[in-house]
Amino acid sequence: MKKTILFVTGALMLLATSPAYASNSDALSKLKDIQKQEQTTTPDVLLPNLNGSTGSATVPSAAEIKAELDVNANNQLNDLKATASNSVDPTDHFKLAIAYELIGDTTNAITSIHNAIHLAPNQIELYKELVSLFSTQNPSIISVFVNGDKIDFKDGNDEVNPVIVSGSTLVPIRKITEKLGAKVGWNNDTHTATIRLLDTTIQLIQDSTNAMVNGNKVTLEVPAQNIGGHILVPLRFISEQVNKNVDYIPGVQGTAIIPIVDKN
């Protein structure tokens, strides 16, 4: 009996410490977090039972998937849901999202695309389709994703969304720095924000286009500003200084998505 217990315990320990198991567990945990954060989530979208697959590197275009599904989207929906529930391939989740979109279920389409984005945060095609859906549900809202995770700016003390000022996107400083993994400090006497990540130190002065990066002076197009009692900072500038790639995916009615991912 003792040998049996030891064998089972050892097997579980080996499973839990294996790279494939750990990777899939992390992915499942992230997908669950996405669904918790998004109010659009419904029980109709199933989470994948991860089975060792690492997911594909690229996804087909939305137009290709729509042509493939066409008028049969409703008939294929159950099969697509079953496939996505057991897959970490972003294409499977994207196909499910398009099927939902074709039958008019925007809520579940958005949730499924979020799952695909988490698995393939570099795929611009996913954001392009998502921004078209956001334009109908969340007009005039600018959404920011960092490595596939959407930032909820209207949460906690940061009750302000990103804004466009003179062509630059400004975001609440604490939310963006936390998501980037940086630390931020604020000197109320000098109105100076100091952001630190690894070997990079950035200093921004409220209402000043002069910034410092590792002691070197840099000129900003738009300064950090106090909007509604919150300090907002230039998103692209901060992200690029900490070695991130930044894209801008415009929608209609002022809607946009800004994906931020690690540089390779």
Q: Where are the domains of the chain?
A: 17-137, 149-262
What span, in angstroms and rounded, lies between the C-alpha atoms of 102 and 73? 7
CATH topology classification for 149-262: Copper Amine Oxidase; Chain A, domain 1 (3.30.457)
- What would the CATH number be for the domain defined by 17-137? 1.25.40
Q: Go through the chain and tell me how many residues it has.
A: 264
Q: Who contacts 247 (Cβ-Cβ below 8 Å, separation ≥6)?
A: 124, 127, 258, 259
Tokens representing residue 201 in the block: 């130190």
Q: In the prediction, which pLDDT does 34 show?
A: 53
Q: In the prediction, which pLDDT does 177 show?
A: 93
Q: In the prediction, which pLDDT does 80 show?
A: 95
> What φ, ψ does residue 85 adopt, rounded to 5°?
-65, -20
Specify the residue for token string 């294409």: 91
The backbone region for 39, taken as left when phi is positive above 0, alpha when psi lies in -120 to 50, beta otherwise, is: alpha
Q: In the prediction, which pLDDT does 212 show?
A: 97
Tokens representing residue 139 in the block: 């007009």
Three-class DSSP category at 123: coil
- For each of the chain's 264 residues, which pLDDT tens digit applies? 544 443 334 443 433 444 444 455 555 555 555 555 554 444 455 554 444 334 346 899 999 999 999 878 889 999 999 999 989 999 999 999 999 999 999 999 999 999 999 999 999 999 999 999 998 887 889 999 999 999 998 766 657 889 999 999 999 999 999 999 999 999 999 999 999 999 999 999 999 999 999 999 999 999 999 998 899 999 999 999 999 999 999 999 889 999 999 987
Tokens representing residue 157 in the block: 């003390």
